[in-house]
Amino acid sequence: MRNFKQRTFLKWITSIVLVSISLLSAGCVSSKFSVETLAKSDVNMVSDIYIDQTLTLLKTLTQKLYKMNPGELAKTPGATIESRISAIFKCPAPPPEPALTGRRSTQAMLAGLESDYKGDRVYAVMYGLFTMLHMAFNNKCHLFMLDFLSSQNFYNSARNIEILVWRLKTRRASNGELCLITNTWKGDIANLSFERIFGKLIILSDTMALIMAERGDRFVKQAVHIAGMSFLPVGLYP
């Protein structure tokens, strides 16, 4: 019964999104229309919305992390928050900076939270998060009708974001301090702005997993979190 309600709700939300997109592409808002949209399926256009929303959240998260951890920005001479954001969020995804020694996706996130990591931890974590989500999109910048995405990759991405949140709360540098400061407390009041952003990213990936599963009528293999909270693979599923 719960699964039925979940599917019904998902179809309702998806229908609203698709109707809105149809109105835009029909010319109601001419500045948003392009011939390119005629070559895209409805699900692909929803995917584009997912990409836009995800990038907005990732950039906001990067900005907040640098403001909370200014020492990481100082590790790159002459860098600004805007220049670091520009260096990370490109499509196709750029190669990693030397400190990451070629690591991407979850491996880059792990590197950024190592106790003795010398590079820019914010860059490593956010570059890893971005490239992981980029891999869920088959490393493509635009999707067309012949493209097919894996629901499992989106499901695993959502779980990995949950694991990253846990690691950010627990991983400490060699000096005993947290590798990266996120949520803070002022008296008894918690600043949970980071939690809200991560929560939105998780919801977006879970929603895409449900849409892709519904589209392909595929079963998503749910993972059981085990001790150590290991990251799940992304990009291995067709």
32-52, pLDDT tens digit by residue? 445 455 455 666 777 788 889
What letter would DSSP give residue 180?
A: S
Q: What is the pLDDT of residue 11?
A: 53
- Which one, of 128, 132, 133, 62, lies nearest residue 101 by Cα? 128
Angle, helix 193-216 to helix 121-136, in steps of 10 degrees: 20
Q: What is the pLDDT of residue 229?
A: 73
Q: Got the DSSP string for 160-195? A: HHHHHHHHHHH-B-TTSSBSS--SEEETTEEE-HHH
14-31, pLDDT tens digit by residue? 554 444 444 434 444 444
Q: What is the pLDDT of residue 9?
A: 47
Which residue is listed with tokens 């990481």?
72
Please tell me the distance from the alpha carbon of residue 113 to that of residue 108, in angstroms, as a whole number: 9
Report whether 234 contacts 156 (CB < 8 A): yes
For 66, 83, 162, the CA distances from 169, given in Å and listed in that order, are: 16, 27, 11
Beta bridge partners of residue 178, listed in sequence order? 172
- Return the domain boundaries, the chain: 1-39, 42-216
Backbone angles phi, psi at 34, to 5 degrees: -150, 155
What letter would DSSP give residue 172?
A: B
Q: Percentage of residues in the chain with pLDDT exceeding 90?
A: 55
Tell me the CA end-to-end span of the chain in Å, nearest whole number: 30
Which run of H or of E encompasses 104?
A: none
136-175, pLDDT tens digit by residue? 998 988 777 656 788 999 999 999 999 999 999 999 999 9
Supply the mean pLDDT for the chain: 82
Please tell me the distance from the alpha carbon of residue 4 to that of residue 235, in angstroms, as a whole number: 29
Backbone angles phi, psi at 117, to 5 degrees: -65, 130
CB atoms within 10 A of CB 173: 15
The whole-angstrom distance between residue 57's C-alpha and the CA centroid of its chain comes to 8
Q: What is the pLDDT of residue 48?
A: 82
Q: What is the pLDDT of residue 210?
A: 87
Task: Quote the radius of gyration of the chain (alpha carbons, Å).
Answer: 19
Report whether 128 contacts 108 (CB < 8 A): yes
Catalogue the E-assigned strands of the chain. Answer: 184-186, 189-191
